[in-house]
Amino acid sequence: MHPKTKKQILLDMTLIEGHMNVIVDTDEGIIKDVRVQGIDSRYFEKFCEGMAIDDLPKITPRICGLCSASHHVASAMAVDHVYGVEIPPRAKLIRRAINYGIILNNHVIHLIMMGFPDLLLKGKNRSMLKLMTVDKELVQEGMKLVKLGHEAVRVFGGRDIHPVRAMGGGVAKPPTETELKLFKEMLEKHEEVMKKFVKMALDKLASVEDLIKSYPNGNKYFGAVVQGNKSDYYEGKLKIVDQKGNVVKEVDPIDYQKALKEYTFDWTYIKPVTVVDEEYPEGAIRVGPISRINIIDSFGTPWADELLENFRQKFGRYAWDPLLYHEARVIESVHMFEMLKELIEMPEMWEGEYLIDTNGMKNERGVGLTEAPRGILIHDVTATEKDGEVVVKKFNIITPTAVNAAAIENDLKKFLLGKNLKDVEQDLYRMVSSVVRSYDPCMACATHSVSKGPSMVIRIREKGKEVRVIKG
C-alpha cells in the first residue's frame, strides 16, 4: 500500500482526569484501527519498593486527587492480608463509609463537570460553567452532593482528600460522637437534594436517549466485586461475566491473576488488562458503574432497586452500551446515599473496637480488592522483613482505567471501524470523546512505567546527600 494512502489522527482527550490520546488510523480514507494511549507517567509501584508496609495506606492515596480514598482503602486491605488479620466490625464499617463517600462524590462530579456538559451542550465550550447557563439548578444541587461525599470521606477517613485513618489492623481513629451526629444530620438534610438531583438528572438523560443508544457495545466481558449476586462496594470476589450474564470467572482477591492478564506496550504508559484466557484487545473487560449494575441481581436498598428496575424495563436485563454509564452513575449515587444512611444507624459504627494488634508478618503477599468509582481496584503487595521491619518488596496496582483501556478501544472500534473518514471527520472528536468520557477515565491512576518505553530516575537527597535512587 502506498504510504500516502495512510493517515493517522491524534485526538487529545479533554474533560477527563489527566491526559489521554486516542489514535485513529485510516487507509484509503477508511478507519482501520483505534488505540487508547496513556501519555502520563507515574512510578508509584516502583517508588513504594523498600518502604515500610504500614506506610502504603498513607502513600498510595497521593496517586490521585479524585479517587484517593479508594486507594487508601485498597492498600489497607492488602496490609491486613500480609499481617493475616481480620479487622474489627467497626473498622470495616468506617472503611466502607470512606469508600461509599468517594464513589458518591466522584459520580456526581463526573455528571456535572464532564458527563452532562458532553451530552447536553454543543460546540467546543462544553464545561460545567457553560452548563450553569443552561441549567443552574442541576449544577447547584449536584455540588451539594459532591460536598456530601467529601464530607463522608473527611468524617470517616480524617481528610476529605488523601484520607489517613485506614491502616493495617483497622483504622487509627474512629469518628467522634459529635462528628457522627453532625454527619447524620447532614444526610437527613440532603434527602431532598438527592431526590431533586436524581429527577433532574434522569430527565436530562431521557432527553438524549437516542444519542445514548447510538453508541453500541463492543465488548464481551464485564467485571465487578460482588458478594454472591448482590453489590458490594468494599470487598468480595472478582466476578467476570459475558454479555448474557454467564459467569466466566469468579475468584478470591488473592487469586485475581487466575482471571486477569496485564500487558505492556511501548506506545502507552497504561498497562491494559484482559481476561486471562484471551488476548488483547478481544479479551477486554469493562468495569465500573454499568458493569456493576448489570452483574448484580439487586442492590438491597429500596430506592436504588426501584431505579434499577426502571432502568431494566427501559434497556433490558443486560444493557451494556457505553453511554449508559451516565444513568448507572445516577443509580449508584442513590445506593451510596442509602448505604451511608444505613451505616450511620448501626450500633457498631458508634462504639467498639476499631484497631487490633497486627503482631508481625504472617503472609508474604497481600491483595486488596475493592471497587473504586470507576471499577475494580487491586493493590497487590509482596512483603519481606528487613532490620526488624516489614517492608514492600514488590508492588502492583491494577486500576479501573487500566482495565477499561482495552474496553474503550473495543467500543470505539465497534462504532468507527469501516467508516469513511470523510463521513465522520467533522464530528469525529465529539464521537470519540463521548465514548471515552462515559468511562470517566482517571489517567493519573492508570499510568505505569513500562519495560520498553521511556525511563526515569528519581534521586532523593537529604541535606545535600543522596539517600535513595529509584529507577523506572
| Domain extents in the chain | 44-446
What are the grid coordinates assigned to 12, written together? 487529545
Q: What is the pLDDT of residue 4?
A: 64
Spatial distance between the Cα atoms of 166 and 42, rounded to a whole number of angstroms = 23
Q: Are 273 and 260 in contact (CB under 8 A)?
A: yes
What cell numbers appear for 457 in the block? 530516575
The answer to whether 355 and 88 are in contact (CB under 8 A) is: yes
Residue 39 has a pLDDT of: 80
Joined together, the cell numbers standing for residue 453 give: 518505553
- Least confidently predicted of 43-52, 122-131, 388-397: 122-131
**Assessment of whether the complete model's pTM goes beyond 0.75:** yes
pLDDT tens profile 431-441: 999 999 999 99
Report pLDDT for 457: 55
Mean pLDDT for the stretch of residues 210-219: 96
Q: How far apart are CA 377 and CA 223, in angstroms?
A: 11
Measured CA to CA, the distance from residue 79 to residue 58 in angstroms comes to 12
**Confidence at residue 468, expressed as pLDDT on a 0 to 100 scale:** 62
Strand order in the sheet with 30-38: 6-13, 20-27, 30-38
Check residue 451 and give its pLDDT. Answer: 45
Q: Please tell me the distance from the alpha carbon of residue 177 to that of residue 163, in angstroms, as a whole number.
A: 19
Rg (C-alpha) for the chain, rounded Å, is: 22
Averaged over 444-461, what is the pLDDT? Answer: 56
Degrees, nearest 5: CA angle 217-318-339: 110
- What is the distance between the alpha carbons of residues 353 and 356, in angstroms, rounded to a whole number? 8
Q: CB of 55 within 8 A of CB of 47?
A: no
C-alpha cell at 34: 483505534
Confidence of residue 445 (pLDDT cuts 50, 70, 90): confident
Q: Residue 446's closest CA among 167, 108, 96, 45?
A: 45
Q: What is the pLDDT of residue 453?
A: 44
What percent of the chain is modeled with pLDDT above 90? 78
Of the given ranges (22-26, 145-149, 253-257), which has the lowest mean pLDDT? Answer: 22-26
* CA torsion angle 158 65 288 119 (round to 10): 120
Give the Cα-Cα-Cα angle 3, 8, 414 (nearest 5 degrees). Answer: 115
**Grid coordinates in use for 444?**
493519573
* Per-chain mean pLDDT for the chain: 92
Per-residue pLDDT band for 447 (boundaries 50, 70, 90) equals: low
DSSP class per residue in 47-98:
HHTTSBGGGHHHHGGGG-SSSHHHHHHHHHHHHHHHHT----HHHHHHHHHH
Task: Round to the nearest angstrom and report the end-to-end CA distance of the chain.
Answer: 38
Number of H helices, E strands in the chain: 18, 17
Cα–Cα distance for residue pair 334/346, rounded to 1 Å: 19
Query: What value does the mean pLDDT take over residues 403-409?
Result: 97
> Tell me, what's the pLDDT at 452?
45
Q: Is the pLDDT of residue 470 over 60?
A: no
pLDDT above 60 (res 33): yes
Confidence at residue 311, expressed as pLDDT on a 0 to 100 scale: 98
pLDDT band of residue 126 (cuts 50, 70, 90) is confident
Residue 282 CA to residue 19 CA, distance in Å, equals 24
pLDDT at 460: 62
At residue 51, the pLDDT reads: 93
What is residue 18's predicted lDDT score, i.e. its pLDDT?
76
Residues 6+ apart with CB under 8 A from 182: 155
Residue 469 has what pLDDT?
A: 62
Reported as a single tens digit per residue, the pLDDT across 323-339 is 999 999 999 999 999 99
Mean pLDDT along residues 297-314: 97
Q: What is the pLDDT of residue 66?
A: 85
Residues 113-117, mean pLDDT to the nearest whole number:
91
Average pLDDT over residues 110-123: 89
CA distances from 284 to 261, 277, 302, 338 (A): 10, 11, 33, 32
Weakest mean pLDDT among 161-175, 253-267, 282-296, 444-458: 444-458
CA-CA distance, 101 to 345, in Å (whole number)? 16
pLDDT computed for residue 450 by the predictor: 44
DSSP lists the bridge partners of residue 30 as 27, 420
Segment among 3-7, 253-257, 370-374 with least mean pLDDT: 3-7
- What is the torsional sign of CA 72, 73, 76, 82? negative
Would the annotation count 48 as a binding residue?
A: no
Q: What is the arithmetic mean of pLDDT over 3-28?
A: 84
Closest CA to 26 of 6, 11, 12: 6
Q: What is the pLDDT of residue 118?
A: 87
The pLDDT value recorded for residue 14 is 78
Q: Are strands 221-227 and 285-287 parallel, antiparallel or unpaired?
A: parallel
Residues in a beta bridge with 372: 375
Rounded (10°) CA dihedral 166, 170, 176, 182? 60
Average pLDDT over residues 257-261: 98
Lowest mean pLDDT among 83-97, 146-160, 427-441, 444-458: 444-458
Band (pLDDT 50/70/90 cuts) for residue 422 is very high
335: Cβ contacts below 8 Å, ≥ 6 apart: 231, 299, 301, 304
Q: Does the structural domain 44-446 have CATH classification 1.10.645.10?
A: yes
